[in-house]
């Protein structure tokens, strides 16, 4: 049963980071050219996973998978936010 809680926490971290980062990129990073680079989502995801690693190491319940899920959410949120900007985010609702 505890495994289900751990998977839920990792999925929640992934979903929350995706939604927040995608909205941030669409609103605040609109005029930053570096966000449209192919390496930007990879760099953002890697930095987020490395930043979450010490926090995850201290918590006894969650593991490395939660940090990786958080990093993946940040990376995908960055990529999709940049794609929204290229397609015209003014037509899309805010997240």
> What per-residue confidence (pLDDT) applies to 46?
96
Tally Cβ neighbours within 10 Å of residue 44: 21
Which burial class, exposed, middle or buried, applies to 3 when counting CB atoms under 10 A from its CB (0-12, 13-18, 19+)? exposed
Number of domains in the chain: 1
Q: Quote the pLDDT of residue 87.
A: 87
State residue 14's pLDDT score. 93
Model pLDDT, residue 3: 83
Predicted model pTM: 0.86
Which residue segment(s) compose the domain that 14 sits in? 2-91
Low-confidence ranges of the chain (pLDDT < 50): none
Query: What was the pLDDT predicted at 64?
Result: 86
pLDDT at position 23 is 92
């Amino acid at each position: 049963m505890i495994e289900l809680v751990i998977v839920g926490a990792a999925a929640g971290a992934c979903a929350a980071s995706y939604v927040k980062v995608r909205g941030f990129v669409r609103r605040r990073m609109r005029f930053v050219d570096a966000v449209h680079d192919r390496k930007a989502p990879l760099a953002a995801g890697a930095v987020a996973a490395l930043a979450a690693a010490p926090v995850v190491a201290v918590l006894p319940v969650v593991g490395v998978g939660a940090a990786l899920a958080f990093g993946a959410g940040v990376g995908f949120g960055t990529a999709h936010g940049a794609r929204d900007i290229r397609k015209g985010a003014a037509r899309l609702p805010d997240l």
